[in-house]
Amino acid sequence: MHSLLDQHPRASLGFFPTPLMNLQRLSQHLGGPRILMKRDDQSGLALGGNKTRKLEYLVGAAIAAGCDTLITGGATQSNHCRQTAAAASGLECHLVLGGEAPPTAQGNLLLDRLLGARIHWAGKQRKGEQMPQIADRLRAAGRTPYIIPYGGSSATGALGYVHAAAELKTQLDNLDQRISHMLFASSSGGTQAGLIVGAHQAGLNCQVIGIRIDKEEEADAPYREQLLDLTNQTAALFGIDQRFDDETISLQERFTGQGYGIVGEAERNAIGLLARTEGILLDPVYTGRAMGGLLRLIDDRTFGPDDTLLFWHTGGAPTLFPYADALLESQP
């Protein structure tokens, strides 16, 4: 499998393999099932997260193409933008962020600034819609920009999670363990697409379940369709003939709450529970919501007593600070 991945240029940005943990105290507290956690929040690049793996292939492609500038976009508190700013050391980095410049830079925005990114404020648009125009301006000024799509979710970025699945398989084999289901936050799709292709290729033989973070938006194609497209693009780029159909997309779409970035009871509970039982920090936007969904699925007896679940911790803890008020709401 690695020989296929080795055909793609890859920048070394993180510390891999990331740790694999057994959440014994959480399982015990819940009365089962067994829950493992893959700590991609500990990927090592400027406070870590799942974008590090994607950026290894994206920055590899940018450098191979002779680019000297990275452009990407996201929400004000985007973890992807912060990791891109860190991955760009030696390259110029432009971030197109949703919203307006706040009076004080907090959380990821503070880190973007420290990491030397140039920031363009985009008002209502939080998915980098203005990146092509900014790229044109930079080209006119003599730069050679590489546009990294929202969330780093191109087929190139998703290769990072094809790689991650192989990494996990090796760790599980060394421990003589198997998993029945893997679950994770799914938002721009690169993580899920890469894991579907990677789990298939590595023979992980488990269900790959994305827990959706964003509400469906009318302006976009349905998320399921986007995911299936990206999965097949990733398989083609990776270099296998396998084509995936709609049945391979397993998506839990009922945990989107009040919408992207709005913290509710489910997120607060999940964050508090993991903090108290395991001393692990989830984040308010992605992993708190995904763990909230997982706890609900366990409550609904979706899994059997012999199942072993694996939760991918995809990062995001730097946004705990700007969300302080929403997180402590109704606590003593």
Ligand X SMILES: *Cc1c(COP(=O)(O)O)cnc(C)c1O
283 lies in the site for ligand X, by CB under 6 A: yes
Question: If binding is defined by CB under 6 A, does position 62 make contact with ligand X?
Answer: no
Instruction: Spell out, one character per residue from 30 to 49, where the chain touches ligand X: x when CB under 6 A holds, - when not.
Output: -------------------x
Question: Does residue 231 bind ligand X (CB under 6 A)?
Answer: no
Buried b (16+ CB within 10 A) or exposed e, 32-59: ebbbbbbbbbbbebbbbbbbbbbbbbbb
Binding pattern to ligand X, positions 134-173, x when CB under 6 A?
Answer: -----------------x-x--------------------
User: Of 187, 231, 234, 252, which one interacts with ligand X (CB under 6 A)?
Assistant: 187
CB of 17 to ligand X, least distance (A): 19
H helical segments located in the chain? 2-5, 24-30, 51-64, 79-87, 107-114, 131-140, 155-175, 190-202, 223-238, 265-278, 287-299, 324-328
In three-state secondary structure terms, 225 is helix
Note whether 314 binds ligand X by CB under 6 A: yes
The CB density around residue 254, as the number of other CB atoms within 10 Å, is 11
Q: Does residue 288 belong to the site contacting ligand X (CB under 6 A)? A: no
What would the x/- binding string for ligand X be over residues 89 to 108, using CB under 6 A? --------------------
Mark whether 78 is an active-site residue.
Answer: yes
Q: How far is the CB of 144 from ligand X (least distance, A)?
A: 26
Half-sphere exposure of 238 (CA within 13 A, CB side): 30
Would you mind telling me the total number of residues written for the chain in this entry? 332
Under the criterion CB under 6 A, does residue 190 sit at the interface with ligand X?
yes
Binding region for ligand X (CB under 6 A) out of 89-97, 170-178, 190-198, 270-278: 190-198
Cis geometry, peptide bond prior to residue 318 (ω within 30 degrees of 0)? no
User: 118 to each of 9, 28, 105, 180, 206, how far by Cα in Å?
Assistant: 26, 47, 14, 44, 42
Q: Which stretch binds ligand X (CB under 6 A): 87-95, 100-108, 187-195, 235-243?
A: 187-195
Nearer to ligand X, 75 or 93 (CB): 75
Q: How far apart are the first and last CA of the chain?
A: 52
188 part of the interface to ligand X, by CB under 6 A? yes
Report the catalytic residues.
78
Contact footprint for ligand X (CB under 6 A) = 49-50, 79-80, 151, 153, 185-192, 283, 286-287, 314-316
